[in-house]
Structures are given as C-alpha cells and as structure tokens.
Amino acid sequence: MRYITPFLAAFVIVGLVAAHAQPLSRSARSVGMANSGSSLVTGVDAFGVNPANLAAPSGSLVSIGIFPIGLVGGTDFLDFGTYQKYFTGINDGSGNLQQYYLTDQDKSFLLDQFGGNTGRIMLDVGFKLLAVNVNSPVGAFGFYLGDRVAANFTLSKDYADFLLNGNPPGKTFDFSETQFASSWTREYGLSYAVNITPVRRVLSVQFGATAKLVQGFAYFGTERFQSTFTTNADTYSITGRSDMRANYAGTEFFNRAINPFAFDLFPRPVGTGFGLDLGVSTTYLSFFTVAASVTDIGTINWNRSAHSIVAESDFLIDNVASDDQLSALWDKLNGDDIAVDAFSSSLPTAFHLGASVDFRNFYFYRAPLALAVAVHKGFNDEPGNSTNWRIGLGGEWEGLDGFPLRTGITLGGYQPVMIAAGIGIRVERFTLDIATDNISSVFSNNFSTASLSIGSRLDF
C-alpha cells in the first residue's frame, strides 16, 4: 500500500493543479473541434490519428511539425473547486495558507462525489521532437519521433473511505477495484499512405499504416490489488488477506541526483516493443469524407531492471497495540520486491471513426466552413487510454483570412459534456494552432478535466 498512496496524492495534485494537456495522439487542430476532426486533419497532424490522411490532398508537398506539445488531465469524481476548497488550505487573511482539517461532514461529502464504486484520475503529456510528412507520386511518407508520459489511476471508493476515515470496527474494506498504471515511452514512427481514385473527381480512397518502434523508459502498473480486511466489532482483531501484484521498471535516469545539467535526452530504455497504426479514408466529391483507424496495436516487453511487488498471505492481528504485529501487518500489505526477467504491457490501443463535410469544397455552394463528427473507443485502460466511448461534434470556420476558428462539444469521458475552443494563425507557410477541449477550465473552477494543445508546422 505504500506504493499506491503516494501516487494517489501526486496525481490528484498534478491532475487538478498543473497545466493539463494533450496526448501525443491528438492534433491541436482536432482538439479545437472537440476531437471531431479525425477525418479532416492532414499532414503531420495525422500522426497518431489516422495514417491514411497523410495521403489526403493538403496543398503541400512537405509538412514539418515544430515541437507540438499537449497535456490533458482530470478526474471523473472531483472538480477543481472541490479540491481547492478542501485540500489547498485556508487563507488566514494575510495571504498565507493554513491547514484545513476535514470534518465528518466534509469526508461524507467527498465520498459522495464518487458516481459509483470507483473514481478515475488521468494524466497524459505528449510531445514530438520531430515530425515530417512528404508527398510523392508514389504515395505519402512520414516519420516522427515523440515522447509520452501518461498515467491512469482507478481508485476504489473503499480505499478512499479507508484513507479518510481510517479503520472503524465492524467494517470490511475491499480494494479489488483499485488499479494504477503509468509509463514514459518514446515512439519512432514510419508511415506510408497511398491515394487511389476509382472515379476521377468523384471518389477517392486513402489507405495508410504506421509502423513504430517503441522504447520504454519507465513503467509502474498493478496486475491486481485485491487486498481485503475486517476489524471485529467485539474483539477489535483484524483479519484479512493481502493479495497484490505490481510490476515496475525504470531507467538509470531516475537514480541520478537531480541535476539539470546531467539531463540525458536519449536514456537507455528498459523496455522495447513494436506498434502499428492502420487507417482508411474515403472522400466523395471532394467535400464529404468518412475515415476510420485503429491506433497503437502492439505491446512493450520490459526486460531490463524489471521488478514485481508481490503480496499473497492471510493475516490476523489480535492485538492492535502490539507494534510487532502492526509492523508485520504492514510488511504483508506492502509485499516483497522481486527482480524478474521481464513482464509485458499493452500499448493504448484505440478505435477512431469520423465523418466530415467540408463546405470549402462543396459541389453546389461553397462557404469557409467544415463540420465534423467522430467517435473514439479505447480497448484497454493502459496509461493515456480509456474504454469509455467519447463522441465529438465540431466545426472549423475560416471567415477571417489567416485565423481559422474552431469549436465543438464532447460527450462522454471524464466529464459528461465539454465545450472545446481553438484558434489557428497562418502566415505564409507557417501555421500555429492552439486549443483546449474544455474551455470551462479557463473561466471557472467547476471543471474536472482540462487540456492545452499547441502545434505548429511549416508547409512547402
């Protein structure tokens, strides 16, 4: 349990206080349209979204991404206003914060924020060190190099109850729904896409694939966390079972003293894997597009500095005043740290389906507007992924020359409804896009998810 509690505190703070941003797999242009633009984004913006779009007409032969970066984070059970009220302290009137002690009513209120038996916390930070897309008569080629730091934490309500209220007699605590996974990975992606025109000027189809080498620099994840215990109301004895297994690995980067001058841009990986993105896109009369993709198919094998934390035992504490018995209890709950040859984890595999109508190329009437819809579904709960369905509805308006405006609405995910907003700046061959998929985080404290995405590129 000592491995889980610090991560909970850290990710509640990071997820709600720090700048939230955008994972590697989403472009700032698409984020501004509530992630509905999976059928619209082209060039380097298509990496991690749909490789088929690399071959879609974009008006440029070469597209170069300039250090796009994004962060996203949040929870589905605790908004920033609640966190700020109960966990940042009380202003004493002179600008200093004093500790705030939770009352029984406060603890009950916090537990009531759980919509069910679990609450989730997510943090995802991604950036590309290099991204290039080149169109040629034989197809479109692309290459990118990008890092991603992500974490998912599923917190059982029982575990939160235990943290807030301790261990009252007569109550059984079950931590079986608690899960945690975090990772730092780097991708080297090589893409190819081809455009086929079965009916000239009427129908075109693009197919694309990205093969990627994935290096892992750090991982911590629970395979299971099914510990339970009960305190007898009459004898105050504690009986239960410690049943937990977690795996972790970390490069030597984490063992060095904190020294900004000793930063290693290419640390030695502790895990290696291969991934695949597949996509298809079809356009009718140059204005109506339907696109689908599956991203991050594959696994990582963590085979250097790999460890497992294992706890598998029953326990009985019949004297809670005994330091020896309590010490033995904590040892059983914390488990044994064992060096292992290797373990594996899945990439955050996800499905994306989108459609768009681009009135800029409309057959009968042209306007500076594009409308889009997309659905997203993750196939696992690996870091940065979610098995919840998400639907995005959005649009892009180019009525102001050189300043495209974007907005949209997202349904599902960590907040039931989110309003996105974004803007682009285009000067000659340079484009800068800035977006957030939850504009309420800018104007109020009543948000549980927030993001920021910044992307820029040169087109030739």
Q: Is residue 403 part of a domain?
A: yes
Q: Which amino acid is at 291?
A: A
Q: What is the arithmetic mean of pLDDT over 337-364?
A: 91
Q: What is the pLDDT of residue 256?
A: 53
> Tokens at residue 53, please?
């779009």
Which of 84-93, 138-147, 217-226 reaches the highest mean pLDDT? 138-147
With CA atoms as reference, report the closest residue to 268 among 303, 222, 299, 297.
Answer: 303
Q: Could you tell me the pTM of the whole model? A: 0.85
Confidence of residue 281 (pLDDT cuts 50, 70, 90): very high
pLDDT tens readout for residues 4-19:
443 333 333 333 333 3
Q: Report CA-CA distances (Å) from 263 to 118, 188, 240, 255, 257.
A: 38, 21, 45, 12, 10
CA 265 to chain CA centroid, Å, is 22
Per the structure, the count of domains in the chain is 1
Q: Is residue 395 part of a domain?
A: yes
Mean pLDDT value across the chain: 85
Q: What is the pLDDT of residue 150?
A: 93
Question: What residues make up the domain containing 145?
Answer: 5-78+113-459
* CATH number of residue 451's parent domain: 2.40.160
Q: Is the pLDDT of residue 115 over 50?
A: yes
With CA atoms as reference, report the closest residue to 39 among 347, 420, 396.
Answer: 396
Q: What is the pLDDT of residue 440?
A: 81
Q: Is residue 415 part of a domain?
A: yes
Confidence of residue 21 (pLDDT cuts 50, 70, 90): very low
pLDDT tens readout for residues 380-415:
989 888 888 899 999 999 988 889 999 999 998 767
Q: Is residue 272 part of a domain?
A: yes
Helix, strand, or coil (residue 116)? coil
Which of 90-94, 248-252, 345-349 reaches the highest mean pLDDT? 345-349
**Are 23 and 126 contacting, i.e. CB atoms less than 8 angstroms apart?**
yes
Q: Is residue 95 part of a domain?
A: no
Q: Which residues pair with 295 in a beta bridge?
A: 350
Q: What is the pLDDT of residue 87?
A: 79
Q: What is the pLDDT of residue 346?
A: 95
Confidence of residue 253 (pLDDT cuts 50, 70, 90): low
For the chain, how far is it from start to end, CA to CA, in angstroms?
A: 54
Spatial neighbors of 435 by CB under 8 A, at least 6 apart, are 28, 29, 31, 32, 406, 420, 421, 422, 423, 452, 453
Q: Is residue 88 part of a domain?
A: no
> Tokens at residue 153, please?
């934490």
Please give the Cα distance from 350 to 125 (Å, whole number): 17
**Are 61 and 460 contacting, i.e. CB atoms less than 8 angstroms apart?**
yes
Confidence of residue 245 (pLDDT cuts 50, 70, 90): very high
Q: Taking the CB of residue 198, how many other CB atoms lie within 10 A of it?
A: 9
- The maximal CA–CA distance of the chain, rounded, in angstroms, is 83
pLDDT tens readout for residues 406-455:
999 999 876 788 899 999 999 989 999 999 988 887 777 777 888 899 99
SS3 of the chain: helix, strand, coil, percent, to 5: 20, 50, 35
Q: Is residue 168 part of a domain?
A: yes
> Tokens at residue 445, please?
């404290």
Q: What is the pLDDT of residue 6?
A: 37
**Are 452 and 22 contacting, i.e. CB atoms less than 8 angstroms apart?**
yes
Q: Is the pLDDT of residue 44 over 70?
A: yes
Q: Which residue has the tokens 């460890």?
A: 307
Q: Report CA-CA distances (Å) from 371 to 52, 359, 360.
A: 20, 8, 11
**Are 133 and 172 contacting, i.e. CB atoms less than 8 angstroms apart?**
no
Q: Is residue 96 part of a domain?
A: no
pLDDT tens readout for residues 200-219:
778 999 999 999 999 999 99
179 vs 334 pLDDT, higher one: 179
Q: What is the pLDDT of residue 11?
A: 37
